[in-house]
Structure 1
C-alpha cells in the first residue's frame, strides 16, 4: 500500500548495481594462464591488479625476451611499478616496446616528444580527485600511460588504479544484458572546456569532436570484457532517454570506486608506473597541500575500440 514502510524504496538494497557477498577477482581473462617470468621479478601489490617489477633498469636497452616479459606483465597485472629509475625518461621505451607516444592535447607540452611535465601544488588543490581513463574522449583512446615521479611530497600524493575487468565481472547478470551492445558518448567539453571561451571550444571541436565507444569493450590484446565508462568524460548512453541514461551511467561509473577492484601506490622519487589504459581507470589523490608534486607523463597512442 502506498506510503507504508513496505513500499518505500530501500536506499541501498534497491540499487541494482550494488553487489553483496563474494566478489569475482580474476587476474587474467577467462581461459588465460598466468605468465611465466624468468628475467624480471614480480611482486604483487594485490592478488589481481598491480605488481612491482624488480631486476629491470628501464634506462638500459631492452632485449626481445625481456620486452616479451614486460608486455606480458602489463597485460596480466594491468599496472606495473618500478623503483629507482633515475636515468629513465617516459619516452625512452614508448616507441617499439609500448607503442608510439601521444601527447594529451590539453596538457602543457614538455621539451621532449610527447612528454608532459605536471607540477601540482597549492594552485591545484583538489583538481585531480576523479576516476578516469586517459583520452577516452578521443576516437582512438590511449592504450597505456607512463608516469615517472620527479618530486613528491613528504606524505600524500598516492595514485590508485581500478580494474575495469573486475568491475564488469561483478555486475549483476541483468545489468550485463542491459548494457550489451550499447554505446556511450565521451566528450572533453564538460571538463577541459569548463574554463574555455565558446570560440576556443569551437576551434578545438574541429579536431576533437565528441566520440562514441561501446559501454563494454573487448581488450585489444586479451579479448577480456571491460566496463568502459568514466565519470568526467562519459556524458550519456546513446539511444536512451535522458533520465534512463543518467540513472544507468551513474551506477556504472561508480563501479571504479569499489576498493576490492583497486591497487594503491605510494610514490618515491624516480618511481615509474606503466598502466594499461583500456583495462583500468586511475585516480590521483590530491591531499598534499601545500606541498609540491612533479611528475613526467606520456601516453601510448591507441586504436579504435570494439
Structure 2
C-alpha cells in the first residue's frame, strides 16, 4: 500500500542518508516513476526532502530532520508485524500492544499520510480464518509464543495421529496456516525441525533451559519448502473427468477440452482413489469420471447404492 511505501521511503532516507531514485526503487521494488510520485507526495505533506541531480546526486532529508516514530516500547515494537492480523494478534494475547503501537505510528505521521493510513484501514481488512471455524483456540498458544520469543525449551504432551507422545523441543517459530497455528520446533540435538499443531498440545511446561536458535534458520523458507514437499507427496496419480458448466464453476480446471452442451474434459491430479472418490462425489451429477477404471467403478457403485437408498 502506498502509505506504507511512503513511510518506508522516509525511513530509508533517514537511516541511510542520500539515495538515488534508482536505489530507492530497487529497495522498495517499484518503478523509478513511482519514486518520483512518492517524493512529490512527501513534499506536499511537508517533509523537508530535496534532490540533487548528477552522478553523485539523489534524495536527502534536511539535516536534523527526524520522523516522530519514537516512544514505542520493546513489546509494542515486536507487535508491529501483526498490525494487519487483528484476529491472530488477539489469539496471541497481543491486541492491546498492537493497538498501542498503531496509535503511536499514526500520531507520528504527517496529517496527510495519517488520513491516508486511516482510510486504507477502513477499506481493507484481512481475516485469516476460514468460514467454518472461529479460529484455532488453544490454551497453550500464548505460552508457545512466549517460549519462541524467549528461546526457552518446552516439554509438550502432544496428541499424535496414533498415540499421545511427550517431547522436549526447542520452538523456533509459529506459523498461521488456514486459520490454524503450528509451531516449528526441533528436539535438542536434532538438526531437523518438525511441525506440531498447537491445538493438539494437551499439556505444556516451559523449562528454565534456553536454546540457541540456529542463525541460518529461515522460518518462511522452511515452511514453504515443507508445503511444497507436502503437495508433491499428495499427488500419486491423475484422473480424467468430464464436468458440466456448473461442475466446472465449482471445480476450476486447467487445459480443459471443450465438449458438447458446455461440458468439458480435463485431467486432474489426485491423492488416491479413496480421496478422489470422496471429493468428486461432492459434485454430484455435474461430474463423470472417465479414468482410471477403479475410480469410475467406485463412483458407479456409490451411485447405484444412492439410487437404491432413495428408491
What's the TM-score once normalised by structure 1's chain length?
A: 0.22
Higher relative contact order (CA 8 A, sep 6+): 1
Which protein is bigger by CA-based radius of gyration?
A: 2
What's the TM-score once normalised by structure 2's chain length?
A: 0.21
**Structure with greater proportional helix content:** 2
